[in-house]
A and B are shown apart, each in its own frame.
Chain A
Amino acid sequence: MEVSWALLANAVIAGLLLGGFYAAMSVGISISFGMLDVVNIAHPAFIILGSYIAYIVNDRFGFDPIVVSVAVSPLFFLLGAALYRVYYYSFERRGQESLRGLAFFFGILFITEVALVLVFGVDYRMVSSRYGDVTWRAGEVGFPMRLVVPFLVSMVMVIGVQLFLTHTFFGRAVLAVAQDPLALRLMGVNPVRVKERAFAISIATAGVAGAFLIIIQPVQPAIGREFIGLVFAVCVLGGMGSIWGTLLGAFVLGLAESFTSTYFGPSWAPAVSFGLLLATLAFRPSGLLGR
């Protein structure tokens, strides 16, 4: 009995830590998909891009991946702003976002993946960090630092985004654009500019989440696809456009995956997020904390 309790406790801890990391990956989707109604299925591609940038700099100069990712996040911000410009002028303004806009982001996802394959090959890459191999122990329960550090930084980032959205003028404008862009226009705010910046923020969070990813596990270009279901599952499960919901959804998913790989084997774990997504869409499309 003693052993199975330790197993259970370890599964819970690993699930919660993983959930924190999932929140970092999904918070961008909560902004772009949940609030701006931009279905950015290329989001995971930017996470992988962030992983590779962290990898290159870490490999050449030995800087910490998270520090690198925060330092380059302005670049991701600009990239996101540029991407939204193209999206807006080509699709959103013409009312063609539902079919062609989706195909556009799918193409972006695909191009990023293939370009990374062409440059770096399909080998798995990883980073070295001072805390990568350290595990802090409390009795039977282990706290691997490669999960704890991303978890803590992720919590800071996600809660920071929530505070930013609720306590600044710009943040409230983002929340408002989700509800009624016309009213925002009447208030003298340009909704396109608000959406552009908010989308840019969502891409910046993806870049930082990429550094977490490569600390937690080795990365190769094609694994981005597996996270599409995950980020949308977290976003939909928690309730569209709610950051607290995203956090809750991320913990639920982290725990579910952790239990699945502990009790059924790790090869089934990736199916959990997609299964949960399908089930949520079928039975409770408004999510746990849905409006």
Chain B
Amino acid sequence: MNNKVFAVVALTVAIALAAVTQLIPNEYFFSAAYTVLLFVILATAWNILGGYTGYVNFGSAAFFAIGAYTTVFFYNAFKAPLAVGIVAGTLVAGLAGLGLGYLTLRLRGVFFAIASLALSVVLYIFIVNWDYVGGARGAYVLQPKDIPFGLPRYIHLIYAVQLVMAAFALVVARAIEKSTLGRGLAAIRDDELAAECSGVPTLRLKIFSTMVSCALMGMAGTTFPYYLSYIEPSSAFSLSYAVNSIAMPLIGGMMSWMGPLIGAILLGTVQQLVQVTVSSAWNLLIVGVLLVLFVTLAPNGIMGWVDAWRRRKGR
């Protein structure tokens, strides 16, 4: 399937799903599904750098929060509509990723990982001290009264938008994976020195994939202030975003665009169930334990099992 066909199919499926699920009467479905879709985008975005290129980004929460707080900023400054927030948040997060990548990707991969962790703490403190976007108190973002497409509540719209953005993220990830760019990234992941010697412009490719990955993470955050109409730094910078966006691709499988999707849907749904039935602390513990178990015992994740099964069948 070529990229254009896949894009058309993915977007059609997303819009059709968004339309059909509007019939579901349970309001909780929309907020739960919104959260799962948020993780689909984050996991897919993380995998562009982590899975395809082999560089660990611990700063998912930072880029997510950049997206969210860009929306807040434009809302406070111009009462800008959601669409402006989405575009601006994606761009700002992409630029932040570009900056971080430019500064640290020339060094060993581990420095990038540590710097990304550092970035999320610096940004957190910056936001806590920046009163214009609410500071430590948090900020209110009012959901608009008139909702397009005749939807009953704003969460329905946010959910539909998130669904379309998730499809977009998957299209981007798949396009990168199947292109020569993706092969270059895979070469970097497998042996960076050999890739460099074979003429792969490693630094440029790494910076590019960091930028795309971070921009998509920012995109995931842009709708977040509207989700509860309220945002505060510790929820926007929650460590659970960083852990989940690493755990989901690892559990699903990092080699293809399908892995993060499967991981995010599985783990996201389990977490929603545990959060409702047990408690949110236990649900974080489950994510952490699953992450450690999968990374030590099943390094290629669920898609790795599928591939092994296919190979056995083909023989």
Contacts and interface: CB of A to CB of B under 8 A. Distances in A.
B308 to A, nearest CB: 17
12 contacts: A41-B58, A96-B299, A106-B242, A111-B288, A114-B284, A225-B239, A226-B121, A228-B114, A267-B125, A270-B121, A278-B103, A282-B103
- Which residue, A99, A270, A275, A282, has most C-beta atoms of chain B within 10 A? A99
B285 A111 contact: yes
Given A90-B295, A225-B239, 19 more contacts: A41-B58, A41-B113, A86-B296, A100-B295, A103-B291, A106-B58, A106-B246, A107-B243, A110-B239, A110-B284, A110-B288, A115-B285, A229-B114, A267-B129, A270-B121, A277-B115, A278-B104, A281-B111, A285-B111
A136 interface: no
Contact of A103 (B110, B117, B118, B250): B250
A143 interface: no
Contacts of B282: 118
B126 interface: yes
Contact of B121 (A90, A100, A229): A229
Contacts of B126: 271
A57 interface: no
B50 interface: yes
A52 interface: no
A179 interface: no
A90 B295 CA distance: 8
A236 B118 CA distance: 13
A104 B288 CA distance: 9
Contact of A229 (B50, B110, B117, B129): B117
Given A99-B54, A107-B288, A41 B107 contact: no
A113 B281 CA distance: 10
SS class of chain B's interface: helix, strand, loop or mixed?
helix
A281 B299 contact: no
B119 interface: yes
A260 B110 CA distance: 28
Contacts of B292: 104, 107-108, 111
B312 to A, nearest CB: 22
B109 interface: yes
A145 B262 CA distance: 55
B262 to A, nearest CB: 17
B122 A274 contact: yes
B118 A114 contact: no
Give chain B's interface residue range (CB within 8 Å of chain A).
35 or more
Contacts of B242: 106
B58 A98 contact: no
Contacts of B54: 98-99
Interface in A164-190: none
B249 to A, nearest CB: 10
A104 B107 CA distance: 22
Given A99-B56, A285-B111, A229 B246 contact: no
B289 interface: yes
B271 to A, nearest CB: 13
A228 B58 CA distance: 12
B190 to A, nearest CB: 11
A259 B295 CA distance: 42
A21 interface: no
A12 interface: no
B157 interface: no
B128 interface: yes
A232 interface: yes
A288 interface: no
Nearest to A96: B299
A39 interface: yes
B288 A274 contact: no
A229 B119 CA distance: 9
Interface in A224-245: 225-226, 228-229, 232-233, 236
**List of 8 A-B pairs having minimum Cβ-Cβ separation, nearest first:** A107-B292, A274-B118, A107-B291, A111-B288, A110-B288, A271-B125, A282-B103, A90-B296
A268 interface: yes
A248 B295 CA distance: 36
B114 A277 contact: yes
Contacts of B115: 277-278, 281
A222 B295 CA distance: 23
A103 B295 contact: yes
Contacts of A90: 295-296
A102 interface: yes
A151 to B, nearest CB: 25
B281 A102 contact: no
Contacts of B250: 100, 103
A159 interface: no
A91 B297 CA distance: 10
Residue of B50, B111, B119, B121 ringed by the most chain A CB atoms within 10 A: B121
